[in-house]
Every structure is written in C-alpha cells, then in structure tokens.
Amino acid sequence: MKIVNLKKSYQNKIVLKDITLSIEAGECVGILGSNGSGKSTLLSTLAGVQKADGGTFLWEDTDLFHNEALRTSLIGYVPQGNPLLEELTAWDNLRLWYDKAALNRELDEGVLAMLGITEFIKVPVRKMSGGMKKRLSIGCAVSGSPKVLLMDEATAALDLVCKERIYNYLREFKAKGGRILLATHDVQELALCDKWYILKEGVLQPYQYDGNVSRLVGRL
C-alpha cells in the first residue's frame, strides 16, 4: 500500500504537503506530531471522510481515491471522536455493521470477544466509559475484515486494561498480515510500530524512535 504526493489544504492553509509513505503487510506505521499538525486530516482523507486535493492512494495498481467500493472493503477507520449512535446499545450499533449470525460468532470467539465487548453488549453508548466506546468503535470498524486499519489515537485516555485489550488485537491484526496507520501521542503505542514518521508543518519525515522520549519531544 502506497500513499504518493498526497495534498490537502483548507482555504489558504496547506495542511498536507506531498505526503508519501508505504505500508507493507504486517506493518504498523506511527504518525507523530503536535496538536493541529494534520494527523487527523491525513487519516480522515485516506478514509474518504474528506477529499484529497491531489496525490494517489495505491493498493497494488488501483488508486483508492477513485475506487470507493474497493476502499470501503479494504479499510477500517477508527476516528479520534466517537462515531457511535449514543442512544443505541452496543448490540444495536454492531447490528448496523454485522448480520446476526456473524455478530454472534464474533462475540463468541472472534474479534469482539477479544475486545471484551460481550461485557457491555446491552449497555447504551451514552452510559459507556471512554474505553468501552473506543473498543466498540474498533469492533464496528473491523466488521468487514479490513486489510488496513486507520487509527486516530487508538488508546488515548484509556485505562491499562482497555489499552492492553486493544494492543493485543492490534498485534494479532499485524500477525495476520494487516496494515495499520496509527496517529498517536502515546509512548506505549509507539512500541507497536515498525516505522515512525513526524508530521510537522504539513511535511512528513521519517523518524527512528529509539525509546528516547526527550529527543522525540525536541523533534516535535
């Protein structure tokens, strides 16, 4: 999977300048940057929430910017905010994405079981903790067995138990050949990544994270 010369502007402000990167099967790529650096814009543009101003998003030889059906089948997107319907239960939100047989199967022994969603399957979203909402959002995003996950701050502000459930799922997703593009501020999430980039003033540059947080902060 390759992103080549991706451009995005808002009015007169350039947010993404010729963004180019590739993600191989089984890789997690981390995008680091300060608030407002364009991380969320990058992911939402790749997901099709916003339209790119230029560039290509290649899966093999197909530009996903011009093939919405293929992009929808390949990509699962977990935004930073809450995309769930607040008045519905976890079950009802999931039924928007899964048929009943598949949903029961995944709750019994699949990804939804791994994420622990069975624990709050009858709880309305408005009564859920942040961790429950994030796990449910991931559960909805992976309903079509995507090959690519776009994740915006996957475990921000979650407790250690919720984080570990999500990390375990992401490790398994990678092990099965999945690709992950992860926008993050979280040092723990950096350990999941195989490659790192810093997005600053619209420019994406490779970064070799070696565990030195002070040096990373200086670069940001």
Tens of pLDDT, residue by residue over 70-96, are 999 999 999 988 889 999 999 999 999
The per-residue pLDDT for range 46-58, each reduced to its tens digit, is 999 999 999 999 9
Average pLDDT rounded to a whole number, residues 30-54: 91
N-term to C-term CA, the chain: 26
With a pLDDT cut of 90, the percent of the chain lying above it is 66
With a pLDDT cut of 70, the percent of the chain lying above it is 95
Mean pLDDT, the chain, integer: 90
pLDDT greater than 80 at residue 220: no
Rounded to whole angstroms, how far apart are CA atoms 194 and 22?
12
Average pLDDT rounded to a whole number, residues 168-190: 89
Residue type, 89: T
The per-residue pLDDT for range 120-137, each reduced to its tens digit, is 999 999 999 888 998 899
Predicted local confidence at residue 127, as pLDDT = 96
Using alpha carbons only, give the angle 3, 174, 200 rounded to the nearest 5 degrees. Answer: 40
Residue 197 pLDDT class (50, 70, 90 cuts): very high
Residue 12 pLDDT class (50, 70, 90 cuts): confident
pLDDT greater than 70 at residue 219: no
C-alpha distances out from residue 124 to 120, 127, 130, Å: 9, 6, 13
DSSP classification of residue 97: T
Architecture of the domain delimited by 2-219: 3-Layer(aba) Sandwich (3.40)
pTM for the full predicted model = 0.90
Rounded to whole angstroms, how far apart are CA atoms 119 and 107?
10
Predicted local confidence at residue 25, as pLDDT = 97
The per-residue pLDDT for range 97-127, each reduced to its tens digit, is 999 999 999 999 998 998 899 999 999 999 9
Q: Which of 167, 195, 175 is nearest to 29 (CA)?
A: 195
